[in-house]
Structure 1
Amino acid sequence: MGNFLRRTIPDMDRTQIFDNLHTRLENDLPYYLYYHCPAHTKSVIDRCEFLAQLEKISEQETYLVKIAGLYHDAGFLIGRKDHETKSCELATAELPEYGFTKAEIKLICGMISATRIPQKTHNIYEKIVADADLFYLGTDEYNFYSNQLYRELKYFNPELNENEWFEIQLNFLNAHRFHTEYGKETLEPIKQINKQKLIESHRK
């Protein structure tokens, strides 16, 4: 895809952009976002970096991927509905202050949009961010994050019961596909185990 960051970004600016937005997420996100919380964003950034290393993309490209991870749920600061679009709007408004070009911001917005369900990806960067966002599906942390999402959804729909939640989870796991090679080869088999455990637990 080429070298998108043609300039040198001072280390302080690199750190500051993450610190600034993370502080806003910590201070301004609603308490009831048990899943879409600052810890989730930090986890996604870390997994973006992990997958970027496996894909052997450049340092500059990895930085853009991590920025997309940073902003992918920032739209919740504005509102829950269509938060991916709101996240892109925030990135478009704020990233020029840090010297990002229009081309870079467009690429970042593409990565943010790739996290929209159902996920659709068009390049390796979007594949990385999409898999980083739902990385937990293929790990032993599945139950923890699933429970956090259940708590969050129940805030908006108090009538949501465990049987309905089981159906939502099962349908989601059946429809979901990983995009990166690591996702397909390593996370997918564990996701299938998690799905089987979910089914067995529901039968009890």
Structure 2
Amino acid sequence: MQIEQAREFILDKLKKELPACFHYHNADHALDVYTASKQLAQSEGIGDHETQLLLTAALFHDSGFLSGQKDHESKSCNNARLYLPNFGYTDEDIERICDIIMATKMPQSPHNHLGQIICDADLDYLGRNDFFVLSKKLFSELVITDGLKTENDWDKQQIVFLKNHHYFTKTAIELRGPAKQLHLEEIIKRTV
């Protein structure tokens, strides 16, 4: 597996070909999920080969946005199947990568440890200091792609989402849970 070459390829493709309306779901997000996945895999004691599969899934997990927003996880798997053989990935590795990618489909329902890790990495920002910066980027994307109208509507959506969301891994629960709760409380205060 030539993960560095695959990483360079898909990030370049996202930067060049993704429609400009994707202010959040872009190459920066792919890299963010890759970094969070790497940290979580290390903390969760994941072996080298499985970590490579996880990191590849992180890079490709939203590449389906290149073909549109609807059912983008399946489209991301199509991209993995199309491009990853060029980087020395076996069919078995690619199917495992697709299984990891599909865990990110909302509502998240991972059925193994790698799926839990990518789900936590995908929403790592919920419990980080840059939450409000990234939340604003997602809001500006949803105004264009989903017809979201006002920041107040967005706050209401975020409250429901944050109340229902839970991290899966012990690492994310401890590392991101407390700050996520503070962010929720701050949004609730400003919507009253």
Bin the TM-score by the shorter chain: over 0.9
Computed over aligned residues only, the root mean square deviation of the Cα atoms, in angstroms, reads: 1.2
Matches of 2:183 and 2:3, distance apart in 1: 37
Per the TM alignment, residue 15 of structure 1 is displaced from its structure 2 partner at its CA by 1.7
Superposition deviation, residue 14 in structure 1: 2.9
What is aligned with 1:4? none
Please give the alpha-carbon distance, in whole angstroms, between the structure 2 residues aligned to 1:114 and 1:191: 21
* 1:172 paired residue number: 161
Q: What is the CA-CA distance between 1:159 and the residue it aligns to?
A: 5.4
Q: Which of 100, 117, 127 pairs up with 1:138?
A: 127
Q: TM-score, normalised by structure 1?
A: 0.90
Alignment TM-score, normalising by the size of structure 2: 0.95
Point out the more displaced range, 189-198 or 91-100.
91-100
Equivalent of 1:163 in 140, 149, 152:
152
Counting matched residue pairs gives 192
Contact 2:21–2:145 (CA under 8 A) maintained in structure 1: no
TM superposition shift of 1:56: 1.1
Residue 56 of structure 1 corresponds to which residue in structure 2? 45
CA distance in 1 between counterparts of 2:158 and 2:52 reads: 32
For structure 1, the 5+ residue unaligned runs are 1-8
Judge which range, 149-158 or 108-117, deviates more. 149-158
1:196 aligns with 2:172: no
After superposition, give the CA deviation of every residue in 1:135-192 in whole Å (9 maximum; x if it has no partner).
0001111111110010000012455112211111111111111011111122111111
Aligned residue in 2 for 1:14: 3
* Alignment of 1:113 onto 2:124: no
Q: Distance in 2 between matches of 1:159 and 1:63?
A: 37
Q: Distance in 1 between matches of 2:154 and 2:94?
A: 36
Correspondence for 1:5: none
Cα offset, 1:32, TM superposition: 1.1
Max Rg structure: 1
| Deviation of 1:79 (Å) | 1.1
In structure 1, how many angstroms separate the alpha carbons of the residues matched to 2:50 and 2:99? Answer: 14
Structure 2's unaligned 5+ residue stretches are none
Distance in 1 between residues matched to 2:95 and 2:63, nearest whole Å: 16
Structure 1 runs, 4 residues or longer, greater than 3 Å off: none
Question: 1:70 matched to which residue of 2?
Answer: 59
Name the structure 2 match of 1:37.
26
